[in-house]
Structure 1
Amino acid sequence: MTALLYLLGVVIFVVAILASIGLHELGHMIPAKKFGGKVTQYMIGFGPTVWSKQVGETEYGLKAIPLGGYVKIVGMLPPGASAAADEVTVDEHGNQVTRVRKSNTGMFTQLISDARAAEWELVGPDDGDRLFYKMPSWKKVVVMAGGPTVNILIAFFLFWLVFSTYGQKSLEVQPGAPVVDSVSECVIAYEDEGRECTPDDPAAPAAEAGLRPGDTITSFNGTEVTGWDQLRELIRGNADGDAVIGYLRDGEQRTGTTSTTVEARPASETDTTLREVGFLGVTPVTEVVTETGGPLYTLDQMGTMTVDTVQALATLPAKVWDVGQAIVGLEERDPNGPVSIVGGGRLAGETTAHEQIPTADKGAFLLTLIAGFNFFIGVFNFVPLLPLDGGHIASAMWEALRRGFARLRGGPDPGYVDAAKLLPVAYVVASAMLVMGVVLIIGDLVVPLRLTS
């Protein structure tokens, strides 16, 4: 039964991601066709074609590697800035046909020339007015933004469903004077938290003071304690000074004396920078708080997610490097680090197969996991670098901007932006994405993240 539930979770996740990919590509294809563009292929996956069907001028199909998808819009690249570089012939019907000549003047020039020539091999004699690069800039933006926008909308509706029904659960310290939940037996460096105490580790100040789970801390060095945040700041500011702790145990007021220890700890819950602060060694009793909300609440939460995602993208190469280090056994894998679709599938399977997780929690986790992947895919694709959608959006916006400036100055039309000139950048970015993807997949197979991590 556990194996079947695990398989069910994996299948649900994979099918949901494939559906998201398909909807992403529809977000490109539908406006492209609406604006008169020619779409010759709509594919989910990469590699060899598993199945396809020709409907009108578009081939719809599935490919063997389900790690993405694409639509082929004819005329993404202009024929070239110089007419001398191109060859114009007349076909048997009397129509002019442009063929891009190949160049052999340098590696990058050759790459650009080959890509341009391959692009124009698909252009038919009647396609002159249907080429993507000839569309108005705003239409190009709509077409290229359609895909990632669909992913963000999927994420919004899934998050909204979870937030409005199941809610968002978090652990919060009980209000009032803090009740001790646990007392550290020894002082362990922040980087080593989770390991057992050894005889060489110094005793924690809280243990020396005689504190026990269930005690309510009422004062610290003569200051009345009314909440955990206040107590934490008092402890941190005490450095290695003496500490007189007042606490209640079974209704009896008691006092314990110790000296706090200076330890390197995160500056705050949101700032992970390690700073030397006073350390006592207690954790407060917490309670599960459920917060629900509708569309505005969801938008507010997704605004915070956007900031977090942008920050995560900025550090993604370093995070993937850490995964590589974990693969070869040089360090432990960060439980909050990135995962691939393989890792997402494993987490989905482990969640559905876990016997102690309630069904409602499983469903909420799966929906949140799928929403999170869609949100990341959407934001990632808006990065203004080719071959990502954001690269094409940036090119179209730059085209509109420079044409607007030309009109204001009364100058000649500067023409279309030639995205082909950015292909060397696209190849570098695509190579980096491929390497990072492979590292994450290997990491999810060799040192996978688990629910117990």
Structure 2
Amino acid sequence: MTVVAFVIGILIMVVGLAVSIALHELGHLYPAKRFGVRVGQYMIGFGPTLWSRTYGETEYGVKAIPLGGYISMAGMYPPSAELAAASAGGGAGGSRARDGRARDGRAGGGFFATMVQDAQTANDQTLRGADDDRVFYKLPVWKRIVIMLGGPTMNLLLAVVLFAILFSGIGVKTATTTVGSVSACVIPADTQRTTCQSSDPASPAAQARLRAGDQILSVGGTPVSTFAEVSAIVRDAPNQDLAFVIRRDGQTQTLTVTPMLATRDKTDASGVPVKNADGTTQTTQVGFVGVSPQLQYVRQPIWEGPAAAAQNVGAVAGIVWQMPVKVYQTAETLVTGGQRDPNGPLSIVGAGVLAGEVASSDAPVLDRAAGMLGLLASLNIALFVFNLIPLLPLDGGHVAIALWDGARRSWAKLFRRPPPPQVDAAKLVPVTYLVVVALIVMGAVLIVADFVNPVSLFG
């Protein structure tokens, strides 16, 4: 692996992450502005601001750490009682109420009550000077849901586009019926050798004078269109003469090939070796001729991109659902030195390592481009699923609050009761704090693991 190519792969992943975050926040920004909400900031990243410009009422900027982003909307939560009283003409009384509540919250409510008070104070700051009807919390439930789902939806759409380019633009590497290589001999399965010795018998394909570049048209009288069909016929016909109809240099000819009986590892439908009770790999007797197929990219129908995205959503959802357990198992490997689950969660560091390995591999450029597209598409699927978790501060948490608020109001309307007060998400700040701490801890474990015991594409 070349260092320069490895670094380029990491940079591509960082830029791809930044673009994904930018589009995610744009998915929130556009509907918020369309619905009239005052948006103070649109920021990519966290930490110190590297660049910003104000257009209209919104400041657009880029911050130093490209690991997230946000938009600042006026009135994410209903106003505190103090601000509501002041807005209604409470004046100095409202100020006194604010001071009394702050003292009571800090003295009697403890740390978490203080957090709630601080969140309400910060939210009140976004409400002061804002138009009464240009705040998030006053929107109908469906509009709040549209705004909060806009970000994850952008990530899903980007993943669909990337998968469509990968599957329908580049294609899927497929084993064709064209011979890629012919084994000169048959090497016993119980040896680690990769070169022929004088004692090794010639392969049936070499004996029949099959050559690389020959296109196999039929085997044993059965037309074939995939190499899997060729393999299936050969496996089931050991020691039987098979007529291979091939096209060579534009001419059709027939060769007689007699598959030999060979011992090979037994695999399941997914190609995974089948194990015995003692852990050894099961073997089976099959027909063998000694040819390998030529691989080429075959473009897939346009619907394969969305289908791949949907399949990845299910796979990532399964990992996210078990995230605490998966992270704990990853932490165990740091202590025991065991092998990590290659299908387990990764941090952005781990994703960067994989991107570096793809970019610096010895594969053709098209293979590396396909690998990078797959990684970026998977990254956006992860962002989509992760942000739908129904916990604050994630988008799914705001959606859950909006749904609960709508359900309460519908219930009151059904029984002709006065509409209840809106759900104040600021009161859930302590839970949000615990979620953030848990995410930081799990993220730190994954980052350390990705440095000390990384998952590698090449083992």
Q: TM-score, structure 2 length as denominator? A: 0.73
RMSD between aligned residues: 4.2
Instruction: Give, in angstroms, the shift of residue 16 of structure 1.
Output: 1.6
Structure of higher CA gyration radius: 2
Distance 1:296 1:143 in 2: 27
Instruction: Give, in angstroms, the shift of residue 114 of structure 1.
Output: 1.8
Distance 1:392 1:311 in 2: 22
Instruction: Give, in angstroms, the shift of residue 251 of structure 1.
Output: 5.9
Match of 2:343 among 336, 342, 348: 336
Equivalent residues of 1:184, 1:281 under 8 A apart: no
The change in CA–CA distance for 1:254 and 1:365 in structure 2 (over 3 A counts) is closer
Q: After the TM superposition, which residues 354-373 of structure 1 pair with which residues of structure 2 at under 5 Å, given as runs?
A: 354=361, 356-373=362-379
Structure 2 unaligned spans of 5+: 193-199, 206-228, 242-255
Percent of pairs with identical residues: 38
Equivalent residues of 1:215, 1:248 under 8 A apart: no
Equivalent residues of 2:82, 2:98 under 8 A apart: no
Asked if residue 185 in structure 1 is aligned to residue 190 in structure 2, the reply is yes
Deviates more, 1:333-342 or 1:40-49: 333-342
Q: Which residue of 2 aligns with 1:241?
A: none
Equivalent residues of 2:165, 2:305 under 8 A apart: no
Equivalent residue of 1:77, what SS?
coil
Distance 2:327 2:386 in 1: 15
Asked if residue 390 in structure 1 is aligned to residue 396 in structure 2, the reply is yes
Q: Which residue of 2 aligns with 1:57?
A: 57
Q: Which residue of 1 aligns with 2:283?
A: 280
Distance 1:397 1:24 in 2: 21
Asked if residue 437 in structure 1 is aligned to residue 443 in structure 2, the reply is yes
Q: Which residue of 2 aligns with 1:147?
A: 151
Q: After the TM superposition, which residues 118-267 of structure 1 pair with which residues of structure 2 at under 5 Å, given as runs?
A: 118-169=122-173, 185=190
User: Residues 327-383 of structure 1, C-alpha deviation per residue, up to 9 Å, x if partnerless?
Assistant: 3343112223222222222222222222x2101111111111111101110121112
Equivalent residue of 2:59, what SS?
strand
The change in CA–CA distance for 1:254 and 1:149 in structure 2 (over 3 A counts) is closer
Distance 1:4 1:302 in 2: 31
Asked if residue 297 in structure 1 is aligned to residue 304 in structure 2, the reply is yes
Distance 1:270 1:313 in 2: 26
Q: Which residue of 2 aligns with 1:347?
A: 354
Distance 1:413 1:181 in 2: 81
Instruction: Give, in angstroms, the shift of residue 291 of structure 1.
Output: 5.2
Equivalent residue of 1:68, what SS?
strand
Equivalent residues of 1:266, 1:275 under 8 A apart: no
Equivalent residues of 1:247, 1:255 under 8 A apart: yes
Equivalent residues of 1:99, 1:120 under 8 A apart: no
Distance 2:240 2:359 in 1: 43
Structure 1 unaligned spans of 5+: 187-195, 197-210, 217-225, 235-244
Equivalent residues of 1:267, 1:274 under 8 A apart: no
The change in CA–CA distance for 1:145 and 1:227 in structure 2 (over 3 A counts) is same
Equivalent residue of 1:122, what SS?
helix
The change in CA–CA distance for 1:109 and 1:164 in structure 2 (over 3 A counts) is same
How many matched pairs?
399
Asked if residue 401 in structure 1 is aligned to residue 407 in structure 2, the reply is yes
Distance 2:434 2:146 in 1: 26
Equivalent residue of 1:338, what SS?
coil
The change in CA–CA distance for 1:398 and 1:289 in structure 2 (over 3 A counts) is farther
Equivalent residues of 1:99, 1:117 under 8 A apart: no
User: Residues 419-442 of structure 1, C-alpha deviation per residue, up to 9 Å, x if partnerless?
Assistant: 223323222222121112122222
User: Residues 110-146 of structure 1, C-alpha deviation per residue, up to 9 Å, x if partnerless?
Assistant: 3222211121123223432222111111110111111
Instruction: Give, in angstroms, the shift of residue 84 of structure 1.
Output: 7.1
Letter in 2 for 1:279: Q
Equivalent residues of 1:52, 1:59 under 8 A apart: yes
Equivalent residues of 2:401, 2:423 under 8 A apart: yes
Letter in 2 for 1:327: L
Letter in 2 for 1:88: A
Equivalent residues of 1:215, 1:247 under 8 A apart: no
Instruction: Give, in angstroms, the shift of residue 400 of structure 1.
Output: 1.8
Equivalent residues of 1:182, 1:282 under 8 A apart: no
Q: TM-score, structure 1 length as denominator? A: 0.74
Equivalent residue of 2:306, what SS?
helix
Distance 1:109 1:230 in 2: 73
Q: Which residue of 2 aligns with 1:45?
A: 45
Instruction: Give, in angstroms, the shift of residue 3 of structure 1.
Output: 3.1
Instruction: Give, in angstroms, the shift of residue 313 of structure 1.
Output: 1.1
Distance 1:415 1:48 in 2: 38
Q: Which residue of 2 aligns with 1:380?
A: 386
Q: Which residue of 2 aligns with 1:416?
A: 422
Distance 1:69 1:129 in 2: 26
Equivalent residues of 2:204, 2:257 under 8 A apart: no
Equivalent residues of 2:204, 2:258 under 8 A apart: no
Distance 2:388 2:177 in 1: 38
Letter in 2 for 1:185: D
Instruction: Give, in angstroms, the shift of residue 99 of structure 1.
Output: 6.0
Instruction: Give, in angstroms, the shift of residue 155 of structure 1.
Output: 0.7
Equivalent residues of 2:51, 2:62 under 8 A apart: yes
Equivalent residues of 1:309, 1:376 under 8 A apart: yes
Equivalent residues of 1:246, 1:253 under 8 A apart: yes
